Chain A
Amino acid sequence: MPIQVLMPALSPTMEKGNLAKWLKKEGETIKSGDVIAEIETDKATMEVEATDEGTLGKILIPEGTADVAVNTPIATILADGESAADLAKAPAPAKQEKAAESAPPAAAKAEVPQPKAAPSAPQAVAEPDPEVPAGTEMVTQTIREALRDAMAEEMRRDPDVFVMGEEVAEYQGAYKVTQGLLQEFGARRVIDTPITEHGFAGVGVGAAMTGLKPIVEFMTFNFAMQAIDQIINSAAKTLYMSGGQMGCSIVFRGPNGAAARVAAQHSQDYSAWYSHIPGLKVIAPYSAADAKGLLKAAIRDPNPVIFLENEVLYGHTGEVPKLDDYVIPIGKARIVRSGSHVTIISWSNGMTYALKAADELAKDGIEAEVIDLRTLRPMDTETIINSVKKTGRAVTVEEGWAQSGVGAEIAARIMENAFDYLDAPVARVAGKDVPMPYAANLEKLALPSAAEVVEAAKAVCYR
């Protein structure tokens, strides 16, 4: 049966075009790939290539015709052995498969119920922390040691886990977080990389796609900006874009947030940046025990995890339960201090200001409930909302900037879920809206302080 050549679309938005020129005449032999005509729109000219072989039977739209609608038959091609007499057999245009961009093929349309609105998102349910049996020995450790132990334990447990990054092996870690790992696990599994964040982040993601479980250390998350394309476009999105076939179990970790006196390029909080991205999990612990239990969970998690540490906190000590396998579920906030007057929500080093402020407030008779989020994505909205329903007031504390920040997200969730319980607008304490200055006095002013948290808490309590 003769084959119809249809007016093609140059782009998904094209509806009509001009048939500028025929390059083949009726009766000429046509091979697949031959340019048979030129069409043009206001934006471009394009060649129409034959996708079938035979003889150009009849030109249906003469050259010079303007505004030919997409999918209009413009010519017929006769296959081997067919003649002009067969032209009558060409199917009527109406029977052609027609699929304009906004209208999928009719057959398919009938089978697909078109959703009127997107189905609602699944809700994450956070698990509680594991029980620490009474009488468990507690070890006093720095956060640095707790992180190191978490990596070492997971590397002993799973030969597919390895750590790579700048100065992680022979130098023992720029901040000594990987101390001793090279000695125990060797250079095959503790890998010094060149200074090449974009490249080694991609190497880590590629290795993870095959099922290995890399821990990629960034000397600081400031340098991970060079690698953010691989983190977001390759690590976070591949599971979805592959229809669930190919995921990426990988941990990107390193110090985040303000360090001391290193100025704007080395002092920035990326909490909001990464917590924006579906496909990533984002953890930012404050205590040594959480640092250990959550890093172990991150390494075991089958998804890409951003693990935000804090340089200022590395040397802080805390009590870590001495258990064979202390793993804290990702996604669960912790109420660090109970109170009934105001809820203060923070994470990582923000907790330093929050807890200090709670002490100050107690002196004035204000009992603050302090929540350590620990995980920023998925966020434990339930714990926040339950607390706000009790206190009716909330203050968020973060080192990052307020605009589009995590505090802004928390405030929105409180508004959406507990508006009627609020006795005052949610207050945000955040880093000042400036690049981090170097001078000691200005740096101090740029960061949040316990005093600002106290002030905000009093304001929402109308005190």
Chain B
Amino acid sequence: MAAPKKAAASTSQDKSDGGSPPEFTREQELKALRDMLLIRRFEEKAGQLYGMGAIGGFCHLYIGQEAVVVGMQMALKEGDQVITGYRDHGHMLATGMDANGVMAELTGRRGGYSKGKGGSMHMFSKEKHFYGGHGIVGAQVSLGTGLAFANHYRGNGNVSVTYFGDGAANQGQVYESFNMAELWKLPVIYVIENNRYAMGTSVSRASAQQDFSKRGVSFNIPGKQVDGMDVRAVKAAGEEAAAWCRAGKGPYILEMQTYRYRGHSMSDPAKYRTREEVEKVRHDQDPIEQVRNRLLAAKVSEQDLKAIDAEVRDIVNASADFAQHDPEPDAAELWTDVYR
């Protein structure tokens, strides 16, 4: 079977935008750069620690997709909830969770967000409104719809941002959730992070409808395809979707067209795509380089950018240090938190 052509943005239901997204102020560009760099350097370090055997089990890196969570976070307000699947380190850092706590959870130490009992795929922060970190593909979609149900029940004006991938988009409970969300007009933004591969299966080999912005059509949920490599486009789309939800109009779907540079998990030999494909995205579309180049063009000095690099590296190195020296959980923790 010939691989169908990648859906063009013009097939999106929402045809309102044509040109480039609204410009960022210098402060916004610098913030986006810093937050995306933090995720990238953190993930690189996590990959390194995994290679050293300090992180066990599964470890799914977010490298390449940084603009999605950073742009979305810039569109949110205090109290909006975030929930995602197992590729969750970037989401946690974007919500402002502490790098030490995330890294220490990866190494299974007591200072981790889940006291070392959750690991890479299962972390939470009530304070930052981050509801996990879920290991069952698609389960977070119903849960995120439930977060929106709670917002609706309480009438608090908050929005649930429910992230899932192109793979999870084929799970049945996604559509059960779409139906209820539209039926009850729940304030939920479904952010489909289309990184083109569900583990080793490309979108064209798994999805009958490859334009994920249309996955809500039969429920009358509006959708939009977004350049998920451009943090400005992500923020603009996120603001539009959030406004829709806050106006009581129900859910909104954003298909973020993005790409993961690394394998599905650390043990992925990546035989399902060519190195050239990865290199091309990296060279042409890298979300961080885009911002860096705009900043340089706007005469921000190399030195200022290096200062950001240094700050981020310090945070990441400190988190790696903490995560390797923090003790493992006390044996008594085996029995805690089963019930409350």
**A residues neighboring B (CB under 8 Å):** 6, 8-12, 32-33, 35, 43-47, 49, 51, 70-71, 97-101, 103-105, 107-108, 111-113, 115, 118-119, 121-122, 162, 188, 193-194, 196, 198-212, 229-230, 233-234, 238-247, 278-279, 281, 302-303
Q: For the complex, what is the distance from the CA of A4 to the CA of B226, rounded to whole Å? A: 40
- B residues touching A (Cβ–Cβ < 8 Å)? 40-41, 44-45, 47-54, 56-57, 63, 81, 83, 109, 112-118, 122-126, 131-136, 139, 141-150, 153, 172-173, 176-177, 179-180, 183, 261-263, 266-271, 275, 282, 324-328, 331-332, 334-340
Q: What are 26 residue pairs bridging A and B, where the CB atoms are less than 8 Å apart in the complex? A: A6-B51, A8-B48, A8-B52, A32-B40, A32-B44, A44-B268, A46-B270, A49-B262, A51-B44, A118-B331, A198-B173, A198-B176, A199-B180, A200-B176, A203-B177, A205-B142, A205-B143, A207-B153, A211-B150, A212-B150, A230-B142, A233-B136, A239-B340, A244-B340, A245-B114, A247-B340
Residues of B within 8 A of A32 (CB): 40-41, 44
Q: How far does the Cβ of B96 sit from chain A's closest Cβ, in whole Å? A: 15
Contact B52 A202 (CB under 8 A): no
Residue of B nearest to A11 (CB): B267
Report whether A203 and B180 are in contact in the complex, using a CB–CB cutoff of 8 Å. yes
Closest 5 CB pairs of A and B: A206-B146, A202-B142, A199-B176, A8-B51, A243-B115
Best-buried of A229, A230, A242 by chain B (most CB within 10 Å): A242
Complex CA–CA separation, A293 to B147 (angstroms): 30
Chain A residues within an 8 Å CB radius of B135: 233
Contact A199:B142 (CB < 8 A) given known A10-B267, A33-B282, A119-B335: yes
Q: Is A203 in contact with B324, judged by CB distance below 8 angstroms?
A: no
Q: How far is the CA of A11 from the CA of B57 in the complex (A)?
A: 8
Minimal Cβ-Cβ distance residue in B for A235: B143
Supposing A229-B136, A239-B338 touch, asked if A108 and B326 sit within 8 A by C-beta, the answer is yes
- When chains A and B are docked, how far (Å) is the Cα of A98 from the Cα of B109? 17
CB distance from A302 to the nearest CB of B (A): 5
Q: Are A162 and B153 in contact (CB under 8 A)?
A: yes
Given contacts A8-B51, A11-B266, A119-B335, contact A242 B183 (CB under 8 A): no
Q: Residues of B contacting A240 with CB < 8 Å?
A: 117, 337-338
Residue pair A99, B52 in contact (C-beta under 8 Å): yes
Question: What's the least CB distance linking B20 to chain A, in Å?
Answer: 26
**Quick check: B131 and A209 within 8 Å, CB to CB?**
yes
Q: How far is the CB of A193 from chain B (nearest CB, A)?
A: 7
The minimal Cβ–Cβ distance linking B219 to chain A, given in whole angstroms, is: 11
Contacts of B113 in A (CB 8 A): 242-243, 245
Contact: A209 with B146, CB < 8 Å? yes
The listed residue (A207, A233, A303) touching B339 by CB distance below 8 A is: A303
Q: Within the complex, what minimum Cβ distance (angstroms) separates A384 from chain B?
A: 21
Q: Which residue of B lies closest to A278 (CB)?
A: B338
Q: Contact between A202 and B145 (Cβ–Cβ < 8 Å)?
A: yes
Residues of A contacting B325 in the complex (Cβ-Cβ under 8 angstroms): 105, 107-108, 111
Contact A100 B338 (CB under 8 A): no
Q: Are A279 and B338 in contact (CB under 8 A)?
A: yes
Give the residues in chain A near B173, CB-CB below 8 Å.
198-199, 202
Q: Are A99 and B324 neighbours in the complex by a CB distance under 8 Å? A: yes
A211 CA / B146 CA spacing, docked (Å): 11
Task: Say whether, besides A108-B326, A198-B172, A200-B176, A46 and B269 are in contact (CB < 8 Å).
Answer: yes
Also in contact, A230 and B52, with CB within 8 A (given A202-B177, A242-B124): no
User: Which residues of chain A are near B131, meaning CB under 8 Å?
Assistant: 206, 209, 246
A243 with B335: CB separation less than 8 A: no
Partner of B124, one of A118, A230, A233, A246: A246
B335 neighbours in A (Cβ, 8 Å): 119, 121-122
Taken together as a complex, chains A and B put the C-alpha atoms of A121 and B332 apart, in Å, by 9
Q: Which residues of A contact B116 (CB under 8 A)?
A: 243
Check A206 against B145 for contact (C-beta < 8 Å).
yes
**Smallest CB-CB separation from B45: which chain A residue?**
A51
Query: Which residues of chain A are near B261, meaning CB under 8 Å?
Result: 33
Could you tell me the distance between the alpha carbons of A99 and B147 in the complex, rounded to whole angstroms? Answer: 39
Give the one of B50, B52, B172, B261 with max A CB within 10 A: B52
B132 contact set on A, CB distance < 8 A: 238, 241-242, 246
Assembly CA distance A202 to B266 (angstroms): 29
- Take A209-B131, A246-B126, A279-B338 as given contacts and tell me if A204 and B146 are in contact as well, using a CB distance cutoff of 8 Å: yes
Q: Is the CB of A242 within 8 A of B139?
A: no
Chain B residues, CB < 8 A from A241: 114, 117-118, 122, 124, 132-133
**Is the beta-carbon distance between A35 and B147 smaller than 8 angstroms?**
no
Closest CB of chain A to B112's CB: distance in Å?
A: 7
Nearest chain B CB to A17's CB is how many angstroms away?
11
List, in ascending order, chain B residues with CB within 8 A of A12's CB.
53, 56-57
Known: A97-B52, A206-B143. A245 touches B125 (CB 8 A): yes
Chain A residues with Cβ under 8 A from B51's Cβ? 6, 8-9, 70
Say whether A242 contacts B118, CB under 8 Å. Answer: yes
Complex CA gap A49/B325 in Å reads 25
Shortest CB-to-CB span from B309 to chain A, Å, is 9
Q: Which residues of chain A have C-beta atoms less than 8 A from B282's C-beta?
A: 33
CB distance A206 to B142 under 8 Å? Answer: yes
Partner of A234 from the list B112, B134, B339 (CB cut-off 8 Å) is: B134
Give the residue among A103, A194, A204, A206 with the most B Cβ atoms within 10 A.
A206
Shortest C-beta distance, A154 to chain B (Å), equals: 16
Q: Quick check: A6 and B52 within 8 Å, CB to CB?
A: yes
Please tell me if the beta carbons of B179 and A101 are within 8 angstroms of each other in the complex: no
Interfacial chain B residues near A246, Cβ < 8 Å: 124, 126, 131-132
User: Cβ of A198 and Cβ of B270 under 8 Å apart?
Assistant: no
Are the C-beta atoms of A108 and B134 separated by less than 8 Å?
no
Question: In the complex, what residue of chain B is closest to A23 when comparing beta carbons?
Answer: B275
Task: Return the contact of B53 from the options A71, A209, A245 (Cβ within 8 A).
Answer: A71
Q: With A122-B335, A199-B180 given, name 8 new contacts (CB 8 A).
A: A9-B51, A44-B268, A99-B52, A203-B142, A206-B147, A241-B118, A242-B124, A247-B340
In the complex, the chain A residue whose C-beta lies closest to that of B114 is A243
Residues in A with CB closer than 8 Å to B45 are 51
Given A6-B51, A9-B51, A243-B113, A198 and B142 contact (CB-CB distance below 8 Å):
yes
Interface pair A188/B153, CB less than 8 Å apart: yes
How far does the alpha carbon of A207 sit from the alpha carbon of B146 in the complex, in Å? Answer: 5
- Specify the chain A residue showing the minimal Cβ separation from B46: A51
Find chain A residues with CB under 8 A from B269 CB: 43-46
Q: Looking at the assembled complex, report how far the CB atom of A239 sits from the nearest CB atom of chain B, in whole angstroms.
A: 5
